[in-house]
Amino acid sequence: MQHILIIIQEIFMTPALIMGGVTLIGLLLQKKPADQVIRGTATAVVGFVLLTAGSDFLQSGALREFGVLFNYDFHIQGVVPNMEAVSSLGIRFYAMEVSTMMFLGMIANLILARFGRFPYIFLTGHHILYMACLLAVVFHQGNMESWQIVVAGSLILGLFMTCMPAMAQPFMRGITKGDKIALGHFSTLGYITAGKVAELVTRRMDREKIRSTEEIRFPSKLSFMRDSTVELFLLMTGMFLILCRIAVFRTDLSLLDLSYRSGEYGHWITYAVIQGAKFAAGIYMILAGVRLVVAEIVPAFKGIAKKLVPHAKPAVDCPILFSYAPNAVMIGFFMSFLGGITTMLVIMQLNLWSRNLALPVIVPGVVAHFFCGGSAGVFANSKGGVRGCIAGSYVQGILISVLSLLVMPVLGTLNLSGTCFSDADFCAVGIVFGHLTTRFTGGQMLGFCLCCFLLPIVFRIFRKKPAVEIP
């Protein structure tokens, strides 16, 4: 029995197995032949592993090295928002609450998808884990007992797993040109902000004159730039060459925390080119994984929709967006990163003006700005083309930096760890519920969370209309 419980727990802690399980259930409910069930399930698992491998390859490789070089070149030290780092610290303190909350939150999501107004099933397993961790940390700062934390956190987790994809779906329809798949990524508020900013800056333009980032045409001699992999390789190689050139003026690269120190490279130019290639390779792996997952999860979901949750739609991770507008992803990344740099400089200047202020300096995290900024770029491009992508992504970069600053006071002992939550939804939830827990008793907080959870169900009952998305 103990072994079975361990296996079940590990399945729910492993996003690839969650994706495979959902695909398996969907195919079985459709009574597909055994060979199709095996092929579809295996493809979904392999595709998600490939997607994750690409993401991990980027985060532990080229993206990390980019961040090290940037911080060294510009003498910047401070708080670096990083979801993985801060969540690992939170899980270390509240492992029981986090794991239980994650499981019950997924059940709460299914209940709301079935009986509420918004039929979305959130499948981004690591974000479920991170949000459960955030809620556990925040609720522990109040006067709540352990069981109250688990119940209240599960209700709020299930609520956001259902509602955030619904908020993003109007934009997703424009991006995907359909309604079969949704976005399950807890940075939705940042993406919506980027989209709204894009609409604002292009509101007086003729819609027919708005130029998409994907319409950027290169001269015939530069036709190779139409290949997004080649384009990304050349762009990131150029960035690494610049950062490495600045660094070698001051020190030997082997003295820094880089793969260069392993002795694999004899010259910094070689190292820079390889890092650019690794960055492009990571993105290629992500896109390949996305194609495999989408090809299996959407058909499989038809079985779940028919049997368990009518009209259900899968809400999947943000790399699902990258294949729709690769140019917007890169523009979004750089503009979001620039927004983070702007915020950092403003904070540093404020600290210089007032020594009593002593605000933590939020150093832009490359990982957060790449994935969230790139996705924001796709959202903004769908509403405002190139101009909207530039403006929307820049504002999104400022937003997640400011929210990271504001969420730190409610993180308790994690406030001293040198890192914090980065994505917009995490920060917004932490700020709101962090302040509420200090003002309400445990029982009052539990009642408030229950009322919030029931709102989509009550709304559907009184509306007496089929489930639809937020307009």
pLDDT of residue 470: 46
Q: Which of 71-85, 97-111, 433-447 is predicted with the least confidence, judged by mean pLDDT? A: 71-85
Give exposure, 291-310, as e/b (b: 16+ Cβ within 10 Å).
Answer: ebbbebbbbbbebbbeeebe
User: Is the pLDDT higher at 386 or at 287?
Assistant: 386
pTM value is 0.76
pLDDT of residue 161: 92
* pLDDT value at 132 more than 50: yes
Instruction: Please give the mean pLDDT across all residues of the chain.
Output: 81
State pLDDT tens for residues 207-259.
Answer: 677 788 777 775 666 555 556 677 678 878 888 898 888 888 888 888 787 88
Cα–Cα distance list, 271 to 13, 62, 237 (Å): 36, 11, 10
Element at 122 (helix H, strand E): strand 120-122
- The mean pLDDT value for 302-320 works out to 77
State pLDDT tens for residues 263-280.
Answer: 677 788 888 898 888 888
pLDDT of residue 62: 78
- Residues ≥6 apart with Cβ < 8 Å to 292: 43, 44, 46, 47, 48, 50, 51
Alpha helices for 177-325 (secondary structure H): 188-201, 228-248, 268-307
- At 93, the amino acid letter reads F
Distance in Å from the first CA to the final CA of the chain: 47
210: exposed, middle or buried (C-beta count within 10 Å: 0-12, 13-18, 19+)? middle
* pLDDT value at 471 more than 50: no
* pLDDT value at 434 more than 90: no
State pLDDT tens for residues 343-363.
Answer: 988 988 888 887 777 777 887
pLDDT of residue 280: 83
* pLDDT value at 335 more than 50: yes
Question: Nearest CA to 110 among 318, 305, 317?
Answer: 305
User: Is the pLDDT higher at 128 or at 354?
Assistant: 128
Residue 164 — pLDDT band, cuts 50, 70, 90? very high
- To the nearest 10°, the Cα dihedral for 66, 68, 72, 77? 120
* pLDDT value at 419 more than 50: yes
* pLDDT value at 396 more than 90: yes
Residue 13 — pLDDT band, cuts 50, 70, 90? low
Question: Nearest CA to 161 among 190, 195, 126, 137?
Answer: 126
- The mean pLDDT value for 391-418 works out to 83
* pLDDT value at 63 more than 80: no
Residue 302, token pair as written in the block: 């038809």
Residue 392 — pLDDT band, cuts 50, 70, 90? very high
* pLDDT value at 402 more than 60: yes
Three-state secondary-structure class, residue 87:
helix
User: Is the pLDDT higher at 99 or at 140?
Assistant: 140
Question: Nearest CA to 126 among 22, 18, 50, 6?
Answer: 18
State pLDDT tens for residues 141-151.
Answer: 877 888 888 89
pLDDT of residue 104: 84
Share of the chain above pLDDT 70, in %: 86
Cα–Cα distance list, 113 to 137, 176, 321, 426 (Å): 26, 22, 23, 21
Q: Which of 46-60, 110-124, 392-406, 425-439 is predicted with the least confidence, judged by mean pLDDT? A: 46-60
Residue 87, token pair as written in the block: 């969540």
- The mean pLDDT value for 330-336 works out to 89
- The mean pLDDT value for 327-349 works out to 89
Which of 7-16, 135-144, 295-304 has the highest average model confidence (pLDDT)? Answer: 135-144
- The mean pLDDT value for 11-24 works out to 74
pLDDT of residue 298: 63
* pLDDT value at 400 more than 80: yes
pLDDT of residue 88: 66
State pLDDT tens for residues 176-193.
Answer: 888 888 999 999 999 999
